[in-house]
A = this chain, B = another copy of it.
Amino acid sequence: MNRRYVHGYDERESIRLQDQASSVLELLHSDTRYPAGSSVLEAGCGTGAQTVTLARNNPDARFTSVDLSKISLEEAKKRVAAAGLSNVQFRQEDIFALPFAPASFDHVFICFLLEHLARPLDALRALQKVLKPGGTITVFEGDHGSTYFHPDNELAHRAVRCLVELQKLAGGNANIGRELYPLLREAGYGEVHVSPRMVYVDASKPKLVDSFTRKTFAAMIDGVREPAVQAGMMSAQDFDAGIRALHRAAEDDGVFCYTFFKAVALRETKS
């Protein structure tokens, strides 16, 4: 499996993930609550963009947050400490070789993880093993193919597709949000429920225009400018025009649309 992380691990990316978590926080976490005393595995916690909110919203649950990247984990630890939270234990682990006993956790939570994996089904199966029968898995993923905007612009769509292609070359799938239902079913989970969370942004929501359209989405696409141009996917000129078109959609008469998908499923007791 190719483990290159398409967004990179630099500071700008860290800010972007933070912005993303802030602006879609409500969308994701508003209905993610765990009972007191639950043990929850957060697999692929990255720099802890979701961990802080998870731990704060569920003060009586215990989180075990794992990631492959030591650098990301250091950042995550700092964030959680800065938030004054003490219900998170961090561990550097590979989700394909988790050291936990079968049925160790009451619940599993993953966010923006499957999109980066060449074998998302195997990951879901590996996570199912450490989940107690009757426990839930919560999955949150984006889908770059859900992106559209006004004014429409073909170069902007092509720039978005550069990220999709680069992520594919790195072994991932940036359009995986729409696939959560069949993936979870095929991995053997039961009672799969998928709930799309569309981010609709117009000028009546100036904070979201800034935090999501500009600083999350356009910034994320702009972040692959160099590899996209170097791979000959687009000329620098066309790519920059595409980015300008995304910013154009953030103006007063512009509109931007993107959809995240949240899925919740059960490890069935009979399995």
Contacts and interface: CB of A to CB of B under 8 A. Distances in A.
Interface residues of A, number: 29
A104 interface: no
Interface string A53-93: 00000000000000000000000000000000000000000
A152 interface: yes
Contacts of A146: 148, 257
Interface stretch (A22-30, A38-46, A174-182): A174-182
Given A192-B204, A204-B192, A204-B193, A179 B148 contact: no
Given A194-B202, A198-B196, A200-B196, A182 B253 contact: yes
Contacts of A192: 204
Contacts of A188: none
Contacts of A207: none
Contacts of A140: none
25 contacts: A145-B148, A145-B152, A146-B257, A148-B175, A148-B178, A149-B178, A150-B178, A150-B179, A181-B203, A181-B204, A182-B202, A182-B254, A182-B255, A185-B253, A186-B253, A192-B204, A193-B204, A194-B200, A194-B204, A194-B255, A195-B200, A196-B200, A196-B257, A198-B259, A257-B259
Interface of A: 143, 145-146, 148-150, 152, 175, 178-179, 181-182, 185-186, 192-196, 198, 200, 202-204, 253-255, 257, 259
